């Protein structure tokens, strides 16, 4: 869902938009999960609610399996939009108290590893398409660069270089909190059904501690742990290669020294024989 034509003008960070709240915890979890992927891009969906003031609240989300992932492009199946919408509908059937906002898809997140923060021409098209699927057009895009530890919330596709950093913390009353837990329960059920390969990461945001207490896996920490194990393995392989090269260097050095000694002996021998030849010549005169 992202292909890059680099921006031709300077990016414009702005102050927090009063009409959008993006959980900082959610973005941090996204950074931790995607950083071990290196320069491969990844995209996902963001779920939240619209409060009584009309503010978009981005609270949770997930990263599904990527159909294509390169250093400049990522794409996931559009069927995950239906999965997210269905999970929201399920959660909204609980905690039906008056004034509790309904959960819905409120945004799209993807990575720009070591590329910086901007919306490419493809991103702008994707953003416009996704926003068009929402009746009230309340939809945001979040771009993160996990290798530079940068994040940006883009309030409009018409301003592809204008963003503000995520810094929010959702205000969740008991009924709304309960609704989010039902959402996360359903997403966990979906993952159990399809497997972690197809749904590798669920982002609980500020509900992380409560979800861990209920038995959910910490996908972000797991990804970092796997990355550490992988890097350790690569380090050990590198150390083995270095040791092998050192042995090869020592063997080559011994061989070269032996050749040098043989050549030195040959030179001495030739010099002696040359001297004997001259003496014999004078003797014969």
Q: 162-163 and 201-203 as β-strands: parallel, antiparallel, unpaired?
A: unpaired
pLDDT band per the 50, 70, 90 thresholds, residue 7: very low
pLDDT (average), residues 13-25: 77
**Which parts of the chain fold into alpha helices (H)?**
24-34, 79-92, 121-132, 174-194, 208-213, 219-284
Q: Which one-letter DSSP state was computed for residue 8?
A: S
Count Cβ atoms below 10 Å from residue 226 Cβ, excluding itself.
11
Residue 63: name the closest of 93, 34, 97 by CA: 34
pLDDT band per the 50, 70, 90 thresholds, residue 280: low
Residue 259: the pLDDT is 83
Residue 144: the pLDDT is 97
Q: What is the pTM of this model?
A: 0.76
- What are 180-220's pLDDT values in tens digits? 999 999 999 999 999 999 999 999 999 999 999 999 999 88
Q: Is residue 229 pLDDT above 50, yes or no?
A: no
pLDDT band per the 50, 70, 90 thresholds, residue 281: low
pLDDT band per the 50, 70, 90 thresholds, residue 6: very low
Question: Which residues make Cβ contacts (< 8 Å) with residue 14, sequence separation at least 6?
Answer: 162, 163, 164
Q: Is residue 276 pLDDT above 90, yes or no?
A: no
């Amino acid at each position: 869902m992202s292909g890059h034509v680099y921006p031709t003008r300077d990016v414009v960070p702005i102050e927090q938009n009063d009409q959008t709240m993006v959980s900082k915890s959610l973005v941090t979890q996204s950074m931790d999960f995607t950083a071990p992927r290196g320069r491969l891009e990844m995209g996902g969906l963001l779920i939240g609610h619209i409060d009584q003031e009309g503010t978009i609240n981005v609270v949770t989300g997930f990263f599904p399996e990527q159909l294509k992932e390169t250093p400049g492009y990522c794409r996931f199946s559009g069927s995950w939009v239906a999965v997210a919408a269905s999970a929201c509908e399920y959660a909204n059937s609980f905690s039906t108290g008056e004034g509790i906002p309904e959960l819905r898809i409120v945004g799209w997140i993807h990575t720009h590893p070591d590329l910086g923060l901007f919306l490419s021409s493809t991103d702008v098209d994707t953003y416009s398409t996704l926003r068009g699927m929402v009746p009230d057009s309340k939809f945001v895009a979040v771009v993160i660069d996990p290798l530079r530890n940068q994040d940006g919330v883009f309030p409009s596709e018409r301003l592809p270089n204008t963003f503000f950093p995520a810094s929010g913390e959702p205000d969740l009353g008991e009924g709304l909190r309960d609704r989010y837990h039902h959402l996360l329960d359903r997403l966990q059920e979906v993952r159990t059904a399809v497997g972690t390969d197809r749904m590798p990461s669920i982002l609980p945001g500020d509900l992380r501690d409560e979800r861990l207490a209920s038995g959910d896996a910490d996908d972000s920490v797991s990804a970092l742990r796997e990355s550490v194990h992988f890097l350790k393995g690569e380090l050990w392989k590198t150390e083995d290669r270095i040791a092998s090269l050192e042995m090869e260097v020592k063997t080559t050095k011994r061989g070269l020294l032996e050749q040098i000694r043989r050549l030195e002996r040959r030179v001495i021998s030739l010099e002696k024989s040359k001297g004997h030849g001259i003496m014999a010549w004078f003797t014969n005169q």
